[in-house]
């Protein structure tokens, strides 16, 4: 069972954005405010106050479903902070991470019609965005095969980092570092300021002995210097297949002489069409922003015909 990260802040902010209020109105500790629904000037003016909604969220295209718990949180949060006497209820019809075809219902929604329609866009935006990431990740993982690990990057929409990386794992991918705090990644500007790779690695190791250290290398000489300096991981950046093959052989040989294991990653210019060739170079993994920057998968909220006629 996949568990998404804490979504309170991001869901509260998303609802607040649509309702045109401060995010605190949808956070724990705030009293219920029935007037919030009046901010949806369309639904509250067009629909009867006692109108009922019953329907399903349906996939419009083939997808790996991701974000159902977030959808549930959107409607639960809206029900709570809008003070609904009868809350909106959600019933998942497929598991998180399920592969579905067009026309597949993935969740049932029941509740006061105005409230359901008020939360519809926010809920679907989360589901579409996260499913898009999970679906694209699954496509890359399948193309890479079991011998090559596919990783994401820090290139995510601001504020959606944790959820975007969660969606990558749902799609079968692997998270690179979550942020600036959980792994050392020494890049060209760091190297220049530190006075070289050896100095940069030594300073990082002294400051953070418990963290993995990765060094970005544009050339074979930098990769070998990183191994010699004691880096745990080498990031081979923007190299062609021949350069990668040579670098992998040299890095592994250097690491073996030092009785060390060094993980080798390729990045820059990584496309899904290159994965088969990259697998042959011997790199352990590839990283790409194509996962977290994937386009959304289309889902729609369809009302049951009988309910629509009755209300």
Pick the catalytic residue from 27, 56, 99, 187.
187
Closest to 107 (Cα-Cα) out of 297, 296, 301, 298: 301
Question: Residue 128 is inside which H or E element, if any?
Answer: helix 113-144
Pick the catalytic residue from 237, 265, 274, 285.
237
Pick the catalytic residue from 155, 203, 205, 252.
155
Bridge partners of residue 302, in order along the sequence = 56
Pick the catalytic residue from 24, 60, 121, 257.
121
Burial class (CB in 10 A: 0-12, 13-18, 19+), 307: middle
* Pairwise CA distance, residues 92 & 105, whole Å: 9
| Residue 267 · residue 234 · CB < 8 Å | no
Q: Is 29 left (phi over 0), alpha (psi -120 to 50) or beta?
A: left
Pick the catalytic residue from 216, 225, 232, 265.
216
Our CA dihedral for 176, 182, 186, 190, rounded to 10 degrees, sits at 130
Q: Specify whether 3 is catalytic.
A: no
Q: Specify whether 155 is catalytic.
A: yes
**Residue 206 CB: number of other CB atoms within 10 A?**
8
Phi, psi for 255 (deg, rounded to 5): -65, -40
* Pairwise CA distance, residues 117 & 34, whole Å: 15
Cα atoms in the 13 Å half-sphere on the side-chain side of 141: 18
Q: Specify whether 121 is catalytic.
A: yes
Q: Specify whether 187 is catalytic.
A: yes
Active site residues: 121, 155, 187, 216, 237
């Amino acid at each position: 069972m996949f568990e998404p990260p804490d979504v309170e802040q991001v869901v509260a902010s998303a609802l607040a954005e649509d309702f045109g209020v401060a995010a605190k109105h949808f956070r724990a500790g705030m009293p219920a405010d029935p007037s919030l629904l009046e901010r949806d000037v369309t639904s509250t003016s067009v629909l009867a106050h006692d109108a009922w909604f019953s329907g399903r969220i349906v996939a419009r295209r083939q997808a790996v479903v991701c974000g159902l718990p977030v959808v549930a949180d959107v409607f639960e949060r809206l029900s709570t902070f809008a003070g609904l006497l009868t809350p909106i209820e959600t019933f998942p019809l497929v598991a998180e991470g399920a592969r579905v075809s067009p026309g597949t219902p993935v969740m049932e929604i029941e509740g006061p019609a105005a409230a359901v329609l008020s939360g519809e866009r926010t809920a679907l935006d989360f589901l579409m965005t996260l499913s898009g990431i999970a679906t694209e990740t699954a496509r890359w993982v399948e193309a890479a095969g079991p011998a090559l690990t596919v990783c994401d990057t820090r290139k995510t929409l601001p504020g959606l980092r944790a959820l975007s990386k969660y969606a990558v794992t749902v799609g079968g991918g692997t998270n690179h570092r979550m942020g600036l705090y959980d792994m050392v990644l020494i890049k060209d500007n760091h190297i220049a300021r530190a006075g070289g790779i050896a100095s940069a690695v030594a300073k990082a190791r002294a400051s953070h002995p418990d963290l993995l250290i990765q060094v970005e290398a544009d050339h074979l000489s930098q990769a070998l210097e990183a191994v010699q300096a004691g880096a745990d991981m080498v990031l081979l950046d923007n190299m062609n297949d021949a350069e990668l093959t040579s670098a992998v052989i040299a890095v592994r040989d250097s690491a073996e002489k030092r009785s060390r294991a060094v993980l080798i990653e390729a990045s820059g210019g990584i496309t899904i069409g290159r994965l088969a060739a990259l697998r042959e170079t011997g790199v352990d993994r590839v990283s790409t922003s194509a996962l977290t920057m994937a386009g959304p998968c289309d889902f729609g909220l369809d009302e049951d015909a009988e309910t629509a006629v009755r209300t």
